[in-house]
Amino acid sequence: MTAPLILDGKKLAAQVRLEVAEKTARLKDQRGITPGLAAVLVGDDPASHVYVKNKRQACADAGMASWLHQLPAGTTQEELLDLVDKLNADDSVHGILVQLPLPKHLDTALILDRIDPRKDVDGLHPDNLGLLADGRPRYLPCTPHGVWQLVKRNGISWAGKNVVILGRSSIVGKSLALLLLQKGVDATVTVCHSRTPNPGHYLKQADIIVAAIGQPLWLKADMVKPGAVVVDVGIHRKPAGGLCGDVSYDEVAPLSSAITPVPGGVGPMTIAMLLVNTVESASLAGK
């Protein structure tokens, strides 16, 4: 087989950020609105600090405003809810991002549900997931949106394809399935999870595989049919250093027609789609 097409998320995300910058400039010129994203970070998780830093830098590059609310690990539930309420009421804030994971003493679902659905630029509030399920999405969840765009903008159609998603989290698997079932996307979707017997049976029939199972190097070459498109959402640190995904890249890539690298695949697209949603929220402000 010929070498696979590398689905370069870093390159595409840069293009999306330019598009966001153009929309931001138009909003400023035409309506005097500067899109703004407020990030809330609780505790000292090193990875979370890196993620928030990258998101704020992406905002700055696109001409958007951003604010960081950094809270100690011992922040109480009521203190965090009060902050969310204040951000909900602040007209200069168009998007609210509560960085996960939160410390274990905090109720993550309760905190995320408190965010105004119009400012839920992660697209994971129950109201927004419900609209997505009903075929009338307000915002598309960032990682699923990034996966969809990364494949689509590389000239690969989802329509009529057998897609197998590994993982059923709301953040990726479940919401991606809802997105791919939308009219106009038109994929045929199977979701495999920890209780699926013999997932290889489904994987071997897949035209497109999206791995979001949270297990390093889980997807092997014997699970993939030749010519499949493979999208790896996972990211893990190897014991000996370096990063890997849920896919055994060196094994699977020679069989694939297209594949995402890790890092540099889905990750940059997730941040880019966060900016897309924030600008969309700003454009809806006052309407």
pLDDT at 243: 92
Average pLDDT over residues 69-93: 97
Structure confidence by residue, pLDDT tens digits, 35-45:
999 999 999 88
30 is catalytic: no
Compute, in degrees rounded to 10, the torsion defined by CA atoms 221, 232, 262, 19.
Answer: 140
57 is catalytic: no
Structure confidence by residue, pLDDT tens digits, 229-249:
999 999 999 888 899 999 999
Burial class (CB in 10 A: 0-12, 13-18, 19+), 67: middle
Structure tokens at 223: 């699970």
- Asked if the domains 32-117 and 141-267 are classified in one and the same CATH topology, the answer is yes
* Range 141-267 classified under CATH 3.40.50.300: no
Average pLDDT, the chain: 95
CATH number for 32-117: choose from 3.40.50.10860, 1.20.1560.10, 1.10.540.10, 3.40.50.300: 3.40.50.10860
Nearest to residue 64, comparing CAs of 112, 10, 26? 26
Active-site hit among 23, 55, 119, 174: 55
pLDDT at 36: 97
Domain spans, the chain? 32-117, 141-267
Structure confidence by residue, pLDDT tens digits, 170-223:
999 999 999 999 999 999 999 999 999 999 999 999 999 999 999 999 999 999
pLDDT at 287: 65
Q: How far apart are CA 3 and CA 59, in angstroms?
A: 35
Neighbours of 60 (CB within 10 A): 10
Average pLDDT over residues 60-64: 94
Structure tokens at 256: 């694939």
pLDDT at 281: 97
70 is catalytic: no
Q: How far apart are CA 223 and CA 220, in angstroms?
A: 6
Active-site hit among 120, 122, 207, 232: 122
